[in-house]
Amino acid sequence: MCIRDRRYTVTVKAWDDYGKWGVKKVVVNVDSGRYTPSQQIRLRDVSFPPDNPYIIEGLDFSDSTQSQVILENVENVIIRRNRFRNLRVKESIGALDISNSKGITIEENLFEDVSNAIVISGFSDIKIRNNVLNRISYEKGYVGWGIGITNSTHVLIEGNLIEKVGPTFIAPPPGVDEPGMYIE
């Protein structure tokens, strides 16, 4: 399995509490050669110490029949430098399905050709940064999420590239200017 190296330049816009904003360019590299094919990972009712979190890294998820990483009631997990591809099943929750958890970091992952990428509910202290989401919900007449967050607190979303979102997507609330992103 050899997937070409990819380099994405993302322009990040951010606003502070006083309404001032700034712009910064972030380069996201998606390199090949370090990925191991993987089946679904499911963690439930487990807590890891903050100084020794559980790390899911360097895996290639390309099973088109199910959600690929499912976290339920977990603490302190890092999901980084993985590929999530070809999840075209509309009935799935998302490539990443996270519920009732805290202390989760999702960074430097590639989500490509998925109906829903990241779906999070009932969450506290989450960081979603420097991910590439490409060809999300790219099926006619289907509404899918690049990043969908409901009933959650303390969420940081920065430096993500959401590209080629399909013909329909959830409209973001005011102040969030990324297509395919929804926060409730």
In Å, the largest CA–CA distance within the chain is 48
Under a CB-based contact definition with an 8 Å cutoff, are residues 66 and 76 in contact? Answer: no
- One digit per residue, pLDDT tens: the chain, 184 residues? 334 566 777 666 666 667 677 777 777 666 655 667 778 889 999 999 999 999 998 888 876 666 788 899 999 999 998 988 877 655 557 788 889 999 999 999 998 888 788 888 887 888 999 888 887 776 666 666 788 788 777 888 888 887 776 644 444 444 444 544 544 4
The pTM for the full model equals 0.72
User: How far is Cα 169 from Cα 182, in angstroms, rounded to an integer?
Assistant: 9
For residue range 47-90, list pLDDT tens digits in order: 999 999 999 988 888 766 667 888 999 999 999 989 888 776 55
Enumerate residues 6+ apart whose C-beta is below 8 A from 16: none
Q: How far is CA 42 from the centre of its chain?
A: 16
- State the Cα angle at 180 between 119 and 69, rounded to 5°: 25
